[in-house]
């Protein structure tokens, strides 16, 4: 499955289960030659930010297709975000996650649906 397909399916499921979804496309900048290249400032940002107000949950998710690999910047961002999410959860509740950070691949589709349907972050 290609990344775009998993991304679209995840967005559709999230909205169906009441999540607000923001897709963060890869930031681009124009070169002097008129070409578009990735902007360094946005390197590593996840594809999706999802919030479920009623369930009081937030998800940051990087989406990858079959064979996709996380870049060094993505690993760096996801690691830092997970550290903060764990601190928030420890400070606020101690036993239940309200903020979660994921890298999702096609094989994760069943768990993606479970998380989005229930709001239970793992």
Q: Which residues contact 8 (CB under 8 A, 6 or more apart)?
A: none
- Quote the tokens at residue 94: 């101690």
Tokens 């959860």 belong to 89
Q: Evaluate whether 52 touches 34 at the Cβ level (below 8 Å).
A: no
More confident residue, 37 or 89: 89
Averaging pLDDT over each range in 9-13, 25-29, 89-93, which range is the top one? 9-13
Q: Per-residue pLDDT for 22 more than 80?
A: yes
pLDDT value at residue 94: 63
Using one digit for the tens of pLDDT, what is the confidence trace for 26-54? 766 778 888 876 667 777 889 999 999 99
Check if the beta carbon of residue 48 is closer than 8 Å to that of residue 11.
yes
The token pair at 46 is: 């996840």
pLDDT score at 61: 98
Helices marked H in 17-60: none
Report whether 38 contacts 97 (CB < 8 A).
no
Domains for the chain: give ranges and CATH numbers: 3-118 (3.40.1350.10)
Q: pTM, whole model, 2 decimals? A: 0.86
Average pLDDT, the chain: 90
């Amino acid at each position: 499955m290609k990344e775009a397909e998993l991304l679209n399916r995840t967005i559709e499921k999230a909205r169906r289960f009441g999540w607000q979804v923001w897709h963060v496309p890869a930031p681009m900048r124009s070169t002097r030659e008129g070409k578009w290249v990735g902007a360094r400032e946005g390197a590593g940002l996840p594809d999706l930010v999802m919030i479920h107000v009623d369930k009081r949950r937030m998800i940051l998710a990087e989406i990858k297709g079959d064979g996709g690999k996380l870049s060094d910047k993505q690993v760096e961002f996801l690691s830092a975000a997970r550290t903060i999410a764990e601190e928030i959860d420890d400070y606020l509740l101690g036993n239940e996650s309200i903020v979660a950070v994921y890298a999702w691949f096609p094989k994760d589709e069943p768990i993606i649906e479970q998380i989005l349907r229930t709001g239970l972050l793992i």
